[in-house]
Structure 1
Amino acid sequence: MYEQHILNDSGTLRQIEEALLATYFKNYDQDFLQTETGQEDIKANVFRRYNNALAHVVPWVARQIDLRGKTLVEIGSGTGSSTAAFAHFVEKIDGYDIDAQALAGAQARLEVMGLNNVALHLVAAEQLVATLRENHPNGADIVLLFAVLEHQTIRERHETLQLCWQLLNPDGLLVVTETPNLLCYTDLHTSELPFLHLLPSELYVRYADRSLREGFGKGFASLDSMPTEQLDRTIMRWGRGVSFHDFELAIGKEHGKYLVANGFEPEILTWFDVSLEEELLRHYFLTKKLDVPLAFSRVVLNVIYKKSERLLPEPELASAPESIFVADKYLLREQNFVINRLNEQLTAAEKHLNEVLASKRWRIGNLIAAPYRKLKALLS
């Protein structure tokens, strides 16, 4: 059902790319777009995010709710990747974003793909909550936050989560996906540096030029003298992680009782495999007996909350894979990996040697060299 909508037609891909280059990427540094990073950014916006949403997020959500006939509100719809993926299956989508060029790209994508059940809305960040309240007096069945919370300020983030929870119809779903976890060691989302996202803003800005990510670090050099509040906003717009604290403050202390998906489902595990550092964080949660859902031990957060007038029964969430966090086990796995590679190289070398020994050239050379070897033996 999902596979038939995967984007792989070269003509359609070319039309979407041309549309995004003329809209979303219009004011980008054209030299940057020619770099490897720039080309990857284009591919991500043209088809990778859409295909990932279609292959992983849509079936993951469909496991919790029948998408047919449902209304969906997407906050931070961007260039329409996840919007288009869900538009194949729900009745109507309202997408909101603060970036006019991104929305222009999204509209062009939808037209190319022939999707007409989406309404896109340009809204200022400070007007988002009021606009959502005004536009959706009858609520929504699903609210989708796809890679968006990390780009909001703390106040925006909490107001958004609170309103999303209020907007949901009974048994509706709040879906938060592809969102970096603030509690992990490495800032994989933005700077690709260890611990940078955990630092105070002034220290963050001064250290940012160590990042090798093109177009990132150099831009912070001139911001050193900015007021802290302005620094915070600039950093947040680039993207800073989210943690369980945000959900607890926005939804309530018992937010975990409403969780129906925690990111350990097969649809998500095939997208984001379990890493060593999140196993360490999970071990810490368990050892310290923290009252925190294990969903928040993952490097990338993918969670679904189900709206209910009462606390749900203890949810039957997917189990985390068996932990290998113990150092000896982890080192053993690494050692086995090296041993396996060496065995593969040895097998390849033996195969090559056998091929040489069996070759006609080697046999002839061996016959020619035989008298000389005998003579050398006699002389020695």
Structure 2
Amino acid sequence: MTMESILNLARAGRVGRIVSVLRYRHLSRHLRARQRPLSPPGKERLVAALTKHYFRDPPDYLSTQAGKKDLDDHVIGRTYVDRRTIVPWLDTLFRLDGAKIIEIGCGTCSSTVALAEQGAEVFGYDIDEASLAVGSERLSIYGVKADLIKGNATEIPAAQIAEVNAVIYFATAEHMTLDEKLSSFSAVWGSLHSGAYLIVVETPNRLWWFDSHTALLPFYMWLPDDLATHYSRFSPRFPFNERLRPPVTAQTLLSLTRTGRAASYHEFELSLGGLSALQISSLNRWNRGNLLQFAKWFAVDRSFEKWLRRHGPRVGNAFYESYLQLAIRKP
């Protein structure tokens, strides 16, 4: 390695640290000390597992710029963000070390690693066998344990829910059908013990004017599903803009839902009952303890969020933010 290469790496490291300080809140020493490193051989194993099991369609996707970015995000990006945001926020609600957590939609276990390395006992559910295969490999690479179960969110035993500190829908609620959401939210809420949490993270809010999750289009989440299917061809996001084609069938609509169709306070009110008296904590609000995050929210999101609150029912401010990232404590 040349001296110039070493200097470039050093500069990149300094820039990364500066960005981290600006973007994220301070990470406590006890959380940072438990993080497991990803070795170069481990990274190679993870890339191989993702390439074999997860990134299967379309065949040339990983050779595109978007595909390369997506792969890098699945290898290190998601775990890094989870460690800097979701994990420290959860640790303010209940101590992760020794906690029992059901993670619905564990996928390839980026978030599962971030939870398990902190000492949490995690039960990860997902409907996709390929994702679970990658997840099992990722857990092995990092040297942590979790119970991975192939199953739908509606199939979790009530007795298991009653024993945990939290049930987390991790970037999952937006991929569930309406019946799945209503059934699962109702069952979880009915089975949680007092003081435990129903938690939703990284789910786009259906009320928001711009869909930054699925179509990258304005007002897309407001469209009925059949119209959204037809309109998907105008999306700038590849391969989403080529995946859905008329005629609109039940399978097409399910494919749209599995890609992501958001959620709002309506499903929670139907499943949990009145929301106004419940204790609801917001990850978005916690993140705004960082000055850069606060400035972004104040400049970009605050006005529309305020408009929604003015015209909507009293259900808690967290239900009017651009993404639903909230923890509801069982009384």
TM-score, length of structure 1 as denominator length: 0.73
Q: Alpha carbons of 1:260 and 1:140: their partners in 2 closer, same or farther (altered >3 Å)?
A: same
2:318 aligns with one of 266, 282, 295? 295
| Counterpart mapping for 1:177-188 below 5 A | 177-188=201-212
Cα distance, 1:225 vs structure 2: 1.9
Q: Which residue matches 1:206?
A: 230
| Counterpart mapping for 1:57-206 below 5 A | 57-116=86-145, 118-123=146-151, 125=152, 128-129=153-154, 131-133=155-157, 136=160, 138-206=162-230
Query: Aligned partners of 1:169 and 1:65: how far apart in 2?
Result: 14
The unaligned stretches of length 5 or more in structure 2 are 1-29
Cα distance, 1:136 vs structure 2: 1.4
Aligned residues of 2:31 and 2:118 also touching (Cα < 8 A): no
1:54 aligns with one of 83, 95, 120? 83
2:248 aligns with one of 226, 236, 241? 226
1:22 to 2:22 alignment = no
1:274 to 2:302 alignment = no
Read off the aligned partner of 2:149 and give its amino acid letter.
H
Cα distance, 1:212 vs structure 2: 1.4
1:237 to 2:267 alignment = no
Query: Aligned partners of 2:275 and 2:225: how far apart in 1?
Result: 31
Q: Alpha carbons of 1:250 and 1:209: their partners in 2 closer, same or farther (altered >3 Å)?
A: same
> Which protein has greater RCO, CA pairs closer than 8 Å, 6+ apart?
2
Query: Aligned partners of 1:275 and 1:38: how far apart in 2?
Result: 32
Q: How large is the Cα RMSD of the aligned pairs?
A: 2.3
The unaligned stretches of length 5 or more in structure 1 are 309-380
Query: Aligned partners of 2:137 and 2:169: how far apart in 1?
Result: 21
Cα distance, 1:209 vs structure 2: 0.7
1:50-86: CA deviations, max 9, x gaps? Answer: 1111110011011011122211101100000111100
Cα distance, 1:263 vs structure 2: 2.3
Identity of aligned residues (%): 27
Query: Aligned partners of 1:57 and 1:197: how far apart in 2?
Result: 25
Read off the aligned partner of 2:324 and give its amino acid letter.
L
Aligned residues of 1:3 and 1:55 also touching (Cα < 8 A): no
Q: Which residue matches 2:7?
A: none
Query: Aligned partners of 2:209 and 2:161: how far apart in 1?
Result: 41
1:13 to 2:43 alignment = yes
Aligned residues of 2:162 and 2:192 also touching (Cα < 8 A): no
Larger Rg: 1
Cα distance, 1:254 vs structure 2: 2.7
Q: Alpha carbons of 1:194 and 1:17: their partners in 2 closer, same or farther (altered >3 Å)?
A: same
Cα distance, 1:48 vs structure 2: 0.9
Cα distance, 1:247 vs structure 2: 1.2
Aligned residues of 2:89 and 2:283 also touching (Cα < 8 A): no
Provide the secondary structure at the position in 2 that maps to 1:17: helix
Cα distance, 1:135 vs structure 2: 6.5
Cα distance, 1:43 vs structure 2: 1.2
Cα distance, 1:11 vs structure 2: 3.7
2:327 aligns with one of 304, 310, 332? 304
TM-score, length of structure 2 as denominator length: 0.83
Q: Alpha carbons of 1:52 and 1:267: their partners in 2 closer, same or farther (altered >3 Å)?
A: farther
Aligned residue pairs total 299
Query: Aligned partners of 1:284 and 1:14: how far apart in 2?
Result: 48
